[in-house]
Amino acid sequence: MPDTDEIVYFDAILTPNRSLSERGFAIVMSIVGVVSFLTGMAFLSMGAIPVIGFFGLDALAIWFAFRWSFRKQREETRIRITASSLDMLHRKANGAEKSVSVPSGFARVELAEPLSSDSWLRVEHGRTGWVIGRFLTLPERKSLADAMKMALHRARLERHIA
């Protein structure tokens, strides 16, 4: 996103909510490992040797699921509103980036109400629209939509006053 000397009315970075910190992940995996080991030893004492491998596979599957989830949480969207433009930069979890810049005077923020699970927050310009914040909760989408509408309103006022 270009840095200019313009007044910035809105600047936010949207990221998915983290369900578990790295420390929490270490604690959970330690608990899973200890429980799997102790249960595996109990089955080993009963003569069920193959069960130990299945407990190991379960622990490995849980570890991979958490790692996949953490990778998806690296996604982010940056939104910046100035008097001249609304800039959006979306960075996927794999590092791929998409950016778009539209004139703030013609940008619209739309959120279907009443709020439901399919109420997507969209930024529209002409016949083109971009869905943003898919990972946000409904109240977060509503709050973001209100803040962006207010910022666009203030940005348009600057254009008309200046």
Q: What does the pLDDT profile of the chain (162 residues) look like in tens digits? A: 555 678 899 999 998 887 788 899 999 999 999 999 899 889 888 888 888 888 889 999 999 998 888 887 888 999 999 989 999 999 988 889 999 999 988 999 999 888 888 788 999 998 899 999 888 889 999 999 999 999 999 998 876 665
First to last CA, the chain: 24
- Taking every pair of C-alpha atoms in the chain, what is the biggest distance, in angstroms? 84
Domains for the chain: give ranges and CATH numbers. Answer: 8-16+77-161 (2.30.29), 22-72 (no CATH)
**Residues 145, 153: contact at Cβ < 8 Å?**
no
Measure the CA–CA gap between 59 and 147, rounded to whole angstroms.
43
Q: Which of 77, 108, 91 is nearest to 11 (CA)?
A: 77
